[in-house]
Amino acid sequence: MCLKRKVRNFVTLVKHEEPPFEIYVKEKAVLTNQQKKAYEALSDGEKENKTTIEQAKDWMCKNFFDIRTFGAVMSLKEFNCGQVRGPVQFGFARSIDRIFSGEHTITRMAVATQAEADKQGGDNRTMGRKFTIPYGLYEMHGFISAPLAKQTGFSEDDLKLFWDALTNMFDHDRSAARGEMAPRKLIVFKHESELGNASAQKLFDLVKVQKNDGLGDAPPRAFSDYTVTVGKPPAGVELIEML
């Protein structure tokens, strides 16, 4: 599961890809065609200028939410729009405890084509598999750079939309395999200074996730089987719990 894709899908659902909330990386997108929009928006005089790539990059940041949020490599041979370092980045999620993956056999009562039906002699059933996890609690770290946000134009309104996406994105993307996935805690450390008042690792260490003692050797099967505590942040850092 790609968290960035979930955020993009939520923004599309809310903003309907209307500028300045278009989405650059999406299913079946042709990136050259996306970047062509920037060159079409520039006047002929601007296209002859040596700073065309920088102007195209600025236009892409202004109109595409995911570019000014996550960044993008747009230095393609045709319609070069340069590269953007996004202010928002994620690390990989890690499960707090070992997880167990269960395998399930499923049956589809129809086939896609007549040729498949003829091959099976009229028995229009096909077999498949799904893999599920009874329960898993994952911890993920994220980062937002204020200096990079200035460069891409990532605004306070963009940040609010980003928080909304993190807290609500699973409610609009259900499936049988991940029907009950949900964010359980969103802990934000807000710094007073642009360059930060404490290192990220020191702040991450303040968050402790422990399995409850009464569980014994039994595997966790609910969020209530864990206790989450957050230590006091240092001076200049505000603790915000959004969930």
Q: What is the pLDDT at residue 9?
A: 93
What pLDDT shows up at residue 50? 55
Question: Which of 166, 212, 237 is CA-nearest to residue 229?
Answer: 212
Per-residue pLDDT of the chain (243 residues; tens, 9 = 90+): 588 999 999 999 999 999 999 999 998 889 999 999 999 998 765 555 557 899 999 999 999 999 999 999 999 988 999 999 999 999 999 999 988 888 888 888 887 778 877 787 766 777 788 888 889 999 999 999 999 999 999 999 999 999 999 999 988 888 777 778 999 999 999 999 999 999 999 999 999 999 998 888 888 999 999 999 999 999 999 999 998
AA letter at 233: P
Long-range contacts of 217-226 (CB under 8 A, 24+ apart): 219/97, 219/100, 219/134, 219/135, 220/96, 220/97, 220/135, 220/137, 221/134, 221/135, 222/135, 223/137, 223/184, 226/96, 226/137
What tokens appear for 154 in the block? 């990532």
pTM attached to this predicted model? 0.86
The predicted structure's pLDDT at residue 49: 57
Distance, CA of 150 to chain centre: 21
pLDDT of residue 47: 56
User: How confident is the model at residue 59, as a pLDDT?
Assistant: 95
Across the strands, what pairs with 126?
A: 108
Q: Is 167 exposed, middle or buried (0-12, 13-18, 19+ CB in 10 A)?
A: middle
pLDDT value, residue 243: 86
Looking at residue 122, its pLDDT comes to: 67
Strands (E), 30-167: 71-73, 83-85, 88-90, 94-95, 102-108, 126-132, 138-139, 142-144
